[in-house]
Structure 1
Amino acid sequence: MDILVIGAGIVGLAIARALGLRGHSVIVAEATGGIGNGVSSRNSEVIHAGMYYPSGSLRARHCVAGRRMLYAFCESHGVPHARCGKLIVATNDLEQAKIEGIYEQGIANGVEGLSFLSAAEAKALEPNLACTGAVLSRETGIIDSHALMLALQGDLEAVGGMIAFHSPVERIARAGSGWEVHAGGAEKAVIPVDAVVNSAGLGAQALARATESYPKAEVPRLVLAKGNYFGCLGKPAFSHLIYPAPVEGGLGTHVTLDLAGRMRFGPDVEWVDREDYEVDPRRAESFYASIRRYWPGLPDGALVPDYAGIRPKLTGPGEKAADFMIEGPAEHGLAGLVHLFGIESPGLTSCLSIAEDVAERLGA
C-alpha cells in the first residue's frame, strides 16, 4: 500500500517504520521543519515499566510490551539509555495505600522486577530519601529521545520511506477506495494514498474533524495539561528516579535523571486552554513543598525553571484518566484510516507496540 503518516513525533515515526518494514511505501507529513518538534521534544525521557494502568487497557498492554521492545531496539540500534530503576514512595498512610495498589496493579499487568520496600530498605538504596515505604521498579529507565527518533527515521529511510517537512495537512478526503491528503505549506500538494494514519499529537482532533466522512461526533475533546519542569543546581541527590504517589492528572512531581546525570523535577499538572511553554518561576514554591515531603534536604534556591510540555489529554480535572484511543476501520467503518487520540504518557515507552497495533488495524 501507499500510506501517509501524519506527524513525525516518536509515535508517528515508529508507525511509519513498522509499515515500511512490512514493505509498504510510506511518506510522513510533518508540519514543522524537523522530527519530534511537538509533544515528543518535551517529556521526561522515561522508559516506564507499566504498573500504573488498568489491566486490559491499551496503556497497560502497550506500555509493558512496548518497554520490552524498546530496550531491545535500543540495544540493537545503539540508542543511549539506562535501566536505572525507580522508587515510588509514600510519606503517609494514605500514600502507602496508593503505592500498595500500584504494586498490585503492576503484578496484575505482568510487570517484572517489582518489589515492596520498607522505609529502611528504601533509605538504604537512597540515603537522602524520606518515606514510609516504597515500590522499587527495576525495569524503569531513561532514554535519549532524540537519538531514538533518529534511529526510527534511519530505519524508515533505509527501506525507502521519506519525511516531507513543512507539509501541514489541511484536509483528508475520500478518493475511490483510498484517500487524498491535501497538504499546505509553501508547495501545496494533493497526495493520493491507500491509507492514512493521523498521529498528529495535539493536532489530532483538528485533523479528524477535517477528514471527509469521519463522524465529527466521534472526535473526542482535547484537554491541555501543561507540565512544568525545574532543573536542580548541584550534584544529583539520587541514583534512582524518585516518584511520589500519583496525583490527579499525573504521576506527581518526581525526580528524573538524564543520561548526563543531571537531576530535574516535574512535571506538575497545570490545566491550560492554549499552548504555552513558558515556565512561571513562581511555581517553584509548590515544587519545593512537594519535593521536600520525600527529600527534606532540598536546599533553598536550588530549583531553576527548565522547560514545559503539553499533554494531549482526553479528560479534565476531576475526571477518570482516559485510555489511549486508536480508532481504526473496525471502530469507524472507513477502510485505510487510523486516528490516534490522547497519546500522552506512556506514549514514548509504548511507541513500538502502538506501531504494531496500527499496522494490524490497517491490515498491513
Structure 2
Amino acid sequence: MHDIETIVIGAGAVGLACARALALTGREVMVLEQHDLIGSETSARNSEVIHAGIYYPQGSLKAQLCVQGKKQLYAFCQENGVGHEQIGKLIVATNDRQLEELDTIKAKAAANGVTDLEFVSRDALRRKEPALNAAGALWSPSTGILDSHGFMLALQGSLEAHGGQVVLNTKVDHIEPLQAGGFGVHVSTEDGEAYAITCKELILSAGHMAPALAAGLDGTHPPKAFLAKGSYFKLQGRAPFSKLIYPVPEPGGLGVHLTLDLQHQARFGPDVEWVEDFHYPVDAARGDKFYAAIRSYWPDLADGALVPDYSGIRPKIVGPGEPAADFRIDGPAAHGQAGLVALYGIESPGLTSALAIADCVVGLVGAD
C-alpha cells in the first residue's frame, strides 16, 4: 500500500492544473510545494498574457496545447470569476521588410489553427492607436490578459473541493522507485523535519528543479537545465495604447513588447539574461537598452519614463544560441516508469497551456 495515490511536485499553475485534473478523476492527490506560497516562481513572474498560439512550430506541443489551452482558460476564468480581459494584441511592423514578415506570421498562425488574425493598414492604425509608429500590423483578437494568482487560487480551490490538498514549505530532496511499484518521495520541511511519502503515481511539475529531481530515476534521461532571466520595466504614467503591442519577432526572441495588466498599467519586457543562479532584483541599467527598441514603435517614449518592476526566470532546457525547445512531457512510454509523468521546459506559453497540459498528463497516467 502507498501513503497516497498521487503526488504532484510543484504548486505553480501547471502543477495545480494537473493536480486538479487528476482529482476530478477521483484520485487522492497531494501537491508538494517548497515555498510558503503557491506559484511564487515562474507562474508569478511573467507577462500574464493569454497567448493565441501564433509563433510556435506547426505540430509542436507548444502550438497544440496553447491553442487548446487558450479556449479552456477563457472558459475557466469566466466560470470561476478569475479576472481576465480578451484585450487583443497588435503585432507591429515598423518598416517594409517587417511588413513582408506579417504574411509569414499569419500563415504560421493559420497552420496552428489560429485563423482570426487580421491585417491592419498604416492608416487604420493611425486612427486606432495614433501614438503608434507602424507601417502595418496584425491584429490578434484572441490574445488576452489574466490575474495569474487568481487563476492559481481557483485551481487550488477546485482541487481541494475534490479532496486534494496542497502542502507548503515542503521541499522534495530526492525521489526513488519502489520495488513493489510506485515511488518514495523524500522531503524536508522548513523546521528541519525529514521523511518519505510513498505514492502510486508521481507528476513532476517542478519547473527549474524537474531535471535534477528526475536524474535519480532510471530511464528518465532528463535534459540539462538552463536559467534565462527576463526583466520587466514599468511605465511611469499611463500608456497611450489600449491593446498589447508586440514588435515583429527578431532572431532570438519576440522583442521588447508592451503588455497591460488588468488596471491597464503598462510594462515592457522581458529581455533575456542567461544566469547561473536565482537572483530576482532588476538591474536598472538594463532598462537603458529598452528605450531604442520601444521607440521603434513608440517614438514619443520620454527619457526616464521606465522604472524597474520585476523579473522572472524561464526554466529553459536549451542554452544560449540554441534553437528554442518544445515542451517536453515524458510519460511511461518515454522512460518505462509506470505512473510517472515528468514535465520539462514548461516556459511560455505554459500559463496559457496549463489546463491543456493537465489533460495531457491525465491521459499519460491513464484512467484510474
TM-score range, shorter-chain basis? over 0.9
- CA change 1:124–1:316 in 2 (3 A) is farther
The match for 1:36 is 39
CA drift at 1:268: 1.1
Cα distance in structure 2, aligned partners of 1:314 and 1:61: 19
The worse-fitting range, judged by mean Cα deviation, of 351-360 and 200-209 is 200-209
Where 1:170 maps in the other structure, the secondary structure is: strand
Give the equivalent residue in structure 2 for 1:179.
183
Q: CA deviation at 1:273?
A: 2.1
Structure-to-structure mapping, 1:258-273, within 5 angstroms: 258-273=261-276
SS at 1:194's partner residue? strand
Q: Which residue of 1 aligns with 2:218?
A: 213
Aligned runs of 1:95-244 on 2, under 5 Å?
A: 95-175=98-178, 176-185=180-189, 186-210=192-216, 212-215=217-220, 218-244=221-247
Shift of 1:289: 0.6
| Whole-angstrom distance in 1 between the partners of 2:162 and 2:6 | 14
Q: Shift of the alpha carbon at 1:249?
A: 4.0
Cα drift, residue 207 of structure 1: 0.8
Instruction: Identify which range, 97-106 or 143-152, moves more after superposition.
Output: 97-106
Residue of structure 2 in register with 1:306 after alignment: 309
Other-structure match for 2:342 = 339
Q: Match for 1:313: what amino acid?
A: K
Q: 1-side partners of 2:215 and 2:99: how far apart? A: 44
Q: Specify the alignment match of 1:20 in structure 2.
A: 23
Gapped runs of 5+ residues in structure 1?
A: none
Q: Say whether residues 1:2 and 2:5 are aligned partners.
A: yes
TM-score normalized by structure 2? 0.95
Q: Deviations over 1:227-279 (max 9, x none)?
A: 11000011121000000122344321100000011111111112222222121
Identical aligned residues as a percent:
54
Q: Aligned partners of 1:273, 1:123: CA distance in 2, in Å?
A: 44
Aligned partners of 2:351, 2:115: CA distance in 1, in Å?
19
Q: CA RMSD in A?
A: 1.2
Partner AA of 1:195 in structure 2: E
Q: Deviations over 1:265-323 (max 9, x none)?
A: 11111222222212111111110010000000101111001001111112223221110
Change (3 A) 1:112 1:82: farther
- How far the C-alpha of 1:187 sits from its partner, in A, is 2.8
In the alignment, the residues of structure 2 paired with residue 195 and residue 351 of structure 1 have an alpha-carbon distance, to the nearest angstrom, of 19
Q: Which amino acid aligns with 1:177?
A: G
Q: Distance in 2 between matches of 1:224 and 1:249?
A: 15
Shift of residue 352, structure 1, vs aligned partner: 0.1
- Letter of the aligned partner of 1:237 in structure 2? P
Q: Distance in 2 between matches of 1:36 and 1:249?
A: 27
Counterpart Cα distance in 2 of 1:155 and 1:256 = 29
Q: Which range is displaced more, 175-184 or 256-265?
A: 175-184
Choose the corresponding residue for 1:329, options 329, 332, 338: 332
Give the distance between the partners of 1:96 and 1:222, measured in 2 at CA: 36
- SS of the aligned residue for 2:289 comes to helix
> Aligned residues, how many?
361
Q: Report SS of the residue matched to 2:232.
A: strand
Are residues 1:69 and 2:75 paired?
no
Instruction: State the shift of 1:170 in Å.
Output: 1.2
The SS at the match of 1:184 is strand
Write the distance in 2 (CA, Å) between the matches of 1:16 and 1:38: 18
Task: State the partner residue of 1:295.
Answer: 298
Shift of 1:24: 0.4
Query: What is the SS of the residue equivalent to 2:170?
Result: coil
Amino acid in structure 1 at the alignment position of 2:287? A
